[in-house]
Amino acid sequence: MRNEADTRATLIDPKLKAAGWADTQITREHYYRRDHQYTQGRVILVGNHVRRGEARKVDYLLYVSDSFPIAVVEAKAESELAEAGLEQAKSYARDLGLAFAYATNGHEIIEFDFFTNTSRQLERFPTPEELWNRWCQNLGRGDASSVTKPMEYGANRRSNPLLYPYCSEAMCGKRPFYFQEVAIREIVKRLMQGRKRVLLTMATGTGKTFVAFQVVWKLIKSGWLQRQHPERPTRVLFLADRVVLRDQAYNTFAPFADGTSEPRYKIEGHPPNLTRDLYFGIYQTLWSPDDEGRRLFEKFPADFFDLVIIDECHRSGFGTWREILDHFGSAIHLGMTATPKQDENIDTYAYFCSEEPEVAIDPEHPERGTWRPPAFQYSLGRGIEDGFLATYKIHRVRTTVDVTGLHLEEAVEQGAEVFIPEDVEPRKVYTTPQFEREITLPDRTRAMVQHLAGLLRRFGKMEKTMVFCVDMEHARLVARLLQDEFGPETGLSNYAVPIISEEGEEGRRALEAFADSDKPAPVVATTAELLSTGVDVPSCRNIVFMKTVSSPILFKQIIGRGSRLDPATDKYWFRIIDYTGATRLLDEWDRPPVPPPDLPKGPQTAGLEGVVFHADTQELIVGASVSVRTGPNSQRGPIRTDEQGRFRFDNLPAGCLQLIVSASGFATRSIGVETLAEETTQVEVALKPARKKGGKIRVEGLEVTIADEAVFVIEATGEQLTLEQYCDYTRRRILDAAPARSDLRAIWLDTARRKAFLEDLARSSVHPQVLAEVLGQPDADAFDLLAHIAFGSPIRTRSERTEAFLNREQAFIRRHAEEARRVILELLDKYRVGGIEQLEPEVFGVSPFREWGGAVKISRIFGGPEALGRSLQEMRERIYAEEAIV
């Protein structure tokens, strides 16, 4: 029977070639790739040390073109059943977004078809043409006209955007990762099916803009977009809400500029340029009016663009900018977001996913209902698991005032000074969400900054750090205090800088310097909102929350600032330093969402009309924005009030609806409205002028200290623990396996039991080396650390145990011949440095034992392998003797 390697070479390879699959891409466009590794292996963090987990790879990946893999093949040895590899093949195919998976031992071939979710046994592998035709036929069921017709495989294959090559690595500087390839295929496939609204959900740092670029590259270079309207040119608009995001996209699309022409154009003001192909703009510019009040986007013909890409679409879908999307309503709208479906962005998902089929939220629990998922989603957690994103550790800190809250009367009684602006009605008690928003506490800020300074000194004061503050005033204060703390000792006048919207060009220059890994300063950037999106600082090691965050979307955007890998600075993980409890929002966001509430049922025959006016002057308000929320996934509008301040909605469901009205200079108002079938409900909406924001209460002279710190995370549950809680948790894990110290010693002296025990502890997030670090005992023996935590035993260092052995065990040493004694003394030195694992037979493969003849020759010195094994075991028992160490 052949092993797996021989089975692949002599049985499987020939069968693939016989079916028409080439073993090299150069020979044919349909080929197979052996041992294709598609993940990098998770970054595993133990203390501050990093190692990579096992990468995932497939035995064979079958391609019908360079950009279109279609199946995986899992190989087993000839002696095994082919079925043994089927589940593994299916798992790989799911990861890679493929429709076909095969498992084979060289004789049996088992196919799993994800279109039918069934398996069958085959005599041979399908040919490339057979697989492609099956893929097209299954994809086109129910919509054959829009799918199967453009799916040519033969001479016209380069006219098919699915098969058209990606922009080459030589031009783009990189090749898509596996999940980006899946995203590109899923988007292009939907567009070829005729869908006009598509959503891409990918975590920050996973390359949404690069995916969008490759989609556009395939659609334009294959000629597919042009063929949709041969009479006019192809044009694409990339919409963002910040200049930095617009410019990043503009640069990503640089390969379209071939040196002879420049198809790209930045929309920066009136009048519009109508002669380019690829446009990049921000909503604010497109919304800007000219001298006659005509907005810039209205100067583009409504059918000017074929494709509109909306970056960070959750921030724009149903705001003022929706009118821009409606103006270009005939174009394909590709929305991109870094956040999963949440209450905050449910309307965005409803808009972009309206053409997706409904699927079960949980197929095993159909009672949970259905939802319309995005075309593709890739979570932060999955990115970390695959090794494409940096993992993180959490350092959670609370001050005394955050634990207890601030009682103004008690603060005054304790000697604090309280300054209350005239227009502010104070609360009796203030808690973390109000700090720095309603009440300024400089003493709390100083306590947090002093604590953060201590952490930065411990971790590395030159590590790039982002501090998220409540507002610009808070950001300036934190930057000044950190500058005062580190400026003198670093000699940097810009060690810490505020990067906030009011700083203009100076802030942009500071941001560019902060993002540049080659520039030593600024080291710390403080901000309120500006850095939460669109800022790429791969070397950023610390993300600090000094502001309260209640939005899961904002939280995920912020921690995304630290999730990028940066091999140039050896950054494979980052810290979240949390002073405000923001990390409570951490979750596995790739889980399907909970089912939304039911939409209103029944005929939609109700009407709603009304008038909007100034609450104080009774003047009609023209151009007010009015929308009606009919359910969590359904919203009408916004529409604008006419010259009489009036609005009207028809074809509404009967029931309790939510009317939302806003206007510039006025406070937004939300009103519950009861509508009736076959009737029109009349409403009058009075808007009050927006109140000028009141001043903040200021409290000085408080005594604020750090109340507690939690620096440990239990991976299985996400629970965050203080050092005391972590030690108690560790104690329970040890006692589960070893109720008495003698039990722990027995486990420790048995190689197999010790290995299993330490693996169980690691799975429970207990690592002796981490305990040694946090307890300040880097040289302690791991056994003694665990015995100390579980049983209160004194902590011994490996050096102490080594010296005790030399003092106490001279008889044991002299019992051996001279050469054996030399081995024993060298083993003791190895133990002193590396612990009990150095007293295993594997140690004889390293220097100096390797030069002394290795395990074979050394075993002869001791009288044979069994005698050597007994001596090693006796050394372990004597090093960990129960008598006191003297």
Cα–Cα distance between 35 and 296 in angstroms, integer?
53
Weakest-pLDDT range from 63-72, 239-248, 310-319: 310-319
Residue 59 has pLDDT above 90, yes or no: yes
pLDDT single digits (tens) 832-850 = 988 999 999 989 988 899 8
pLDDT for residue 143 is more than 50: no
For tokens 């930095």, what's the residue?
Answer: 244
- Whether the pLDDT of residue 879 is over 60: the answer is yes
pLDDT in the model for residue 47 = 66
Residue 718 gets the label, from left (phi > 0), alpha (psi -120 to 50) or beta, of: left
**pLDDT, tens digit (0-9, with 9 covering 90-100), for 358-369:** 888 777 777 777
Q: Judge if 580 and 495 occupy the same domain.
A: yes
Among 358, 378, 398, the domain boundary falls at 378
What contacts 721, CB < 8 A, 6 or more positions away? 710, 712, 713, 714, 729
352 in a structural domain: yes
Radius of gyration of the chain from its Cα atoms, rounded to whole angstroms: 33
Residue 201 lies in a domain: yes
Question: Is pLDDT above 90 for 505?
Answer: no
Q: Which whole number is the average pLDDT over 299-327?
A: 81
* Rounded mean pLDDT, 798-821: 92
Identify whether residues 16 and 124 lie together within a single domain. Answer: yes
Sequential DSSP letters for 269-321: SSSPP-S-SEEEEEHHHHH-B-TTS-BGGGGS-TTS-SEEEETTGGGTTTSTT
* pLDDT: which is higher, 45 or 251: 251
pLDDT digits (tens, 9 = 90+) for 710-761: 777 666 566 667 778 888 889 999 999 999 999 999 999 999 999 999 988 9
Position 424 confidence tier, pLDDT thresholds 50, 70, 90: confident
Mean pLDDT of 371-390: 88
| Domain termination residue (choose one: 532, 559, 585) | 585
- Please choose, from the candidates 343, 174, 316, 194, the residue with its C-alpha nearest in 3D space to the C-alpha of residue 245: 316
If 0-12 CB within 10 Å is exposed, 13-18 middle and 19+ buried, where does residue 363 land?
Answer: exposed
pLDDT at 155 > cutoff 50: no
Q: Tell me if 595 is assigned to some domain.
A: no
Per residue in 548-587, pLDDT (tens digit) is 887 776 777 787 777 888 888 888 889 899 999 888 777 6
Residue among 763, 783, 786 nearest 837 (CA): 783
> What's the first-to-final CA gap in the chain, in angstroms?
60
- Name the pairing type of β-strands 370-371 and 307-310: unpaired
Strands 542-545 and 496-498, by their bridges, are unpaired
Q: What are phi and psi of 617, to 5 degrees?
A: -100, -10
Instruction: Give the residue among 27, 51, 55, 23 at the shortest CA–CA distance from 41.
Output: 55
pLDDT of residue 631: 66
Q: For residue range 665-697, what is the model confidence (pLDDT) as tens digits?
A: 888 888 889 999 899 999 999 998 876 666 889
Q: Rounded to whole angstroms, how far apart are CA atoms 451 and 455?
A: 6
47 in a structural domain: yes
Residue 560 sits at φ, ψ, to 5 deg, of: -65, -20
Q: Determine whether 570 is exposed, middle or buried from the number of CB atoms within 10 Å of its CB (0-12, 13-18, 19+).
A: exposed
Q: What is the mean pLDDT of residues 389-415?
A: 90
Cβ count within 10 A of residue 418 = 17
466 has a pLDDT exceeding 80:
yes
For the stretch 257-277, pLDDT in tens is 988 889 999 999 899 999 999
Q: Taking residues 464-491, what's their average pLDDT?
A: 93
Last residue of a domain, one of 796, 829, 862: 796
Residue 168 inside a domain? The answer is no
| Rounded distance between C-alpha atoms, residue 770 and residue 712, angstroms | 10
Q: Which residues contact 257 (CB under 8 A, 6 or more apart)?
A: 263, 264
Residues 92, 82 contacting (CB under 8 angstroms): no
Question: Strand 100-104 relative to strand 370-371: parallel, antiparallel, unpaired?
Answer: unpaired
Task: Please indicate, yes or no, whether residues 368 and 510 belong to a single structural domain of this protein.
Answer: no
| Same-domain status, 462 and 535 | yes
Residue 886 lies in a domain: no
What pLDDT score was predicted for residue 775? 77
Residues 371 and 435 in one domain: no
746 close to 766: Cβ distance less than 8 angstroms: no
Q: What is the DSSP letter of 536?
A: -
- One domain for residues 741 and 787: yes
Q: Which residues contact 152 (CB under 8 A, 6 or more apart)?
A: 159, 160
Cα 106 from Cα 574, distance rounded (Å): 46
Instruction: Give the domain extent around 210.
Output: 173-378
> What's the pLDDT band for 351 if we cut at 50, 70, 90?
confident
pLDDT, position 317? 45
pLDDT of 720: 67
Q: In what order do the strands lie in the sheet with 669-675?
A: 634-640, 625-631, 655-662, 669-675
Model confidence at 516, pLDDT cuts 50, 70, 90, reads confident
Better-scored residue on pLDDT, 283 or 13: 13
Q: Which two tokens stand for residue 192?
A: 């070829």
**Domain-located, residue 592:** no
Which segment, 46-50, 200-204, 612-616, 776-780, is predicted with the most confidence on average?
A: 612-616
pLDDT at 509: 80
Q: What is the 3-state secondary structure (H, E, C) of 104-169?
A: ECCCCEEEEECCCCEEEEECCCCCHHHHHHHHHHHHCCCCHHHHCCCCCCCCCHHHCCCCCCCCCH
CATH number at residue 299: 3.40.50.300
Task: Kindly report the CATH number assigned to the domain that includes residue 116.
Answer: 3.90.1570.30
Task: Note whether 237 and 310 are same-domain residues.
Answer: yes
Q: What is the mean pLDDT of residues 5-11?
A: 93
For the segment 211-262, what is each residue's pLDDT rounded down to a tens digit?
999 999 999 999 999 999 888 999 999 998 888 889 989 999 999 998 888 9
What is the structure's pLDDT at 18? 95
**834 in the same domain as 867:** yes
Are residue 869 and residue 723 in the same domain, yes or no? no
Indicate the average pLDDT of the chain: 86
Identify the pLDDT of residue 597. 44
The three-state (H, E, C) secondary structure of 425-463, written as one string: CCCCEECHHHECCCEECHHHHHHHHHHHHHHHHHHCCCC
Same domain for 243 and 368, yes or no, is yes
pLDDT score recorded for residue 492: 94
Report if residue 862 sits inside a domain: yes
The two three-digit tokens of residue 634, written as one number: 């359904």
* Tokens read off for 494: 């810009």
- In the structure, what pLDDT confidence band is assigned to residue 342 with cuts at 50, 70 and 90? low
pLDDT of residue 350 exceeding 70, the answer is yes
774 and 829 together in one domain: no
> Does 223 lie in the same domain as 78?
no
Number of domains within the chain = 6
* Beta-strand relationship, 625-631 and 655-662: antiparallel
Determine the pLDDT at residue 735: 95
Point out which residues pair with 611 in neighbouring strands.
Answer: 646, 684
